Amino acid sequence: MSDESQLVEKVKDELLNEDDLLKVEIVEGDSVLSQYEVNVPLTNPYEFDASRFMPNTTPMDLIKFFEIADDLITNAQDRAGIIDSKKVKLVEEYPPDAFSEYGDEVVAFRVLKREPARMNAKATARPHRKSTYSYDVVRAENPNKVVVIESRPIDHLIEFTCWGKSNKIANSRALWLEKLFINHAWVFEVQGVERFFWKDRGPLGGLWICGSVDL
């Protein structure tokens, strides 16, 4: 009979995973008093899934906005039966390519202004700078904690300029673009833009207000 005894303890597999080791250091000033490694996972009680606050899986930003505008312009020309060589393209302002690369006309975009939304829902109040939307998240795993989620509308003043080899071509395209965006403002709104409307038309192009919500 052996005088030795063994004590065996069952450990969870995730505790044996060295990839999850956390290095803890106890410091005083610039010196490290002690350090050790521990495999206890740390959880952030303030993490949350923001997908339920968004109408789509991808949040609306300027890149997505211009992608939607480009898709809308392309789709309208496809439905009208315009051949590829005659389709007008949407490009950024001051593109690196020569104008001849785009044919007889082109539509350019640029952001003129980005600022917190300036009016309340009834357009009667002064400009505000505080968060507009607030939501308290309470979860069962953290009953004594409340995560306050705040978001603020951001207004963008965006200019779409129609360039053409003649004034008639540019003016005709500007009228076409105004009608297209006015009739299809809902396309931007269902994708997460809070509001999208035409402001006016200046010497170079039309100005549009795009208000999106940034979480």
- The pLDDT tens digits for 36-74 are 777 666 666 667 666 666 666 677 788 889 999 999 999
In a domain, 42, yes or no: no
What CATH number should be reported for the domain holding residue 91?
Answer: 3.30.2000
Number of domains in the chain: 1
In a domain, 2, yes or no: no
Boundaries of domain holding 182 = 50-214
Which pLDDT value is given to residue 114? Answer: 84
Q: Average pLDDT, stretch 110-122?
A: 73
In a domain, 41, yes or no: no
In a domain, 175, yes or no: yes
pLDDT level of residue 214 (50, 70, 90 thresholds) = very low
In a domain, 65, yes or no: yes
pTM over 0.85, yes/no: no
- The pLDDT tens digits for 151-176 are 677 788 888 988 888 888 888 998 99
In a domain, 100, yes or no: yes
In a domain, 13, yes or no: no
In a domain, 21, yes or no: no
Which of 100, 212, 91 shows the shortest CA–CA distance to 160? Answer: 91
